[in-house]
Amino acid sequence: MGIFFSGLAILLVALGAWFWNTYRIGPGVSADESRPVKSSLHLETFVLNLADREQRSYLRVGIDLGLGREMGKGGSAPPVGQVRDIILGVLAQSRVEELLTAPGKAKLKEDLVHALQKRVPGLEVKEVYFTEFLIQR
């Protein structure tokens, strides 16, 4: 009887892993719309004032960029100064109340990806990864 339940547990775990890998892209998103990341670009930590008039608020955020191209293989060096300037411009417009929520952080990621794709299309930014995220009021 114990062997039966062990086998059933293993089967359920395997089925769950397969389901997770197959459908983790999210509802309404097809596999063709996913963003393949080929390399990443690590940026130094950002520390800046947020756009809140009522109080002083600071944001410390670490960011890595997921790129759709390989870095370092015959390609030119990424324009780090330009990338940091674009990111600082987007971050400086953020408000604390927005950034304290998960949807606010997701919107910030979308805004960053959109701004970077528009101003530095050759970098092929596909994803933004927060490696550190601290708000001080």
Domain range summary for the chain, segments of one domain joined by +: 1-34, 35-136
CATH for 35-136 is: 3.30.479
In tens, the pLDDT along 126-137 reads 999 999 999 998
What percentage of the chain exceeds 90 in pLDDT? 49
Tens of pLDDT along 2-50? Answer: 676 565 556 555 656 655 555 554 444 434 345 688 899 999 999 998 8
Euclidean distance between CA atoms 105 and 101, whole angstroms = 6
> Phi-psi category of 58—alpha, beta or left, where left has phi over 0 and alpha has psi -120 to 50?
beta
Distance CA 91, CA 108 (A): 8
> Across the chain, what does the average pLDDT equal?
81
CB proximity list for 124: less than 8 A, separation 6 or greater = 67, 68, 69, 117
Query: Which pLDDT belongs to residue 55?
Result: 80
Query: What pLDDT does 25 receive?
Result: 45
The pLDDT score that the predictor gives to residue 77 is: 76
The pLDDT of residue 91 is: 93
Q: pTM for the full model?
A: 0.71
Return d(Cα 126, Cα 33) in angstroms, integer: 11
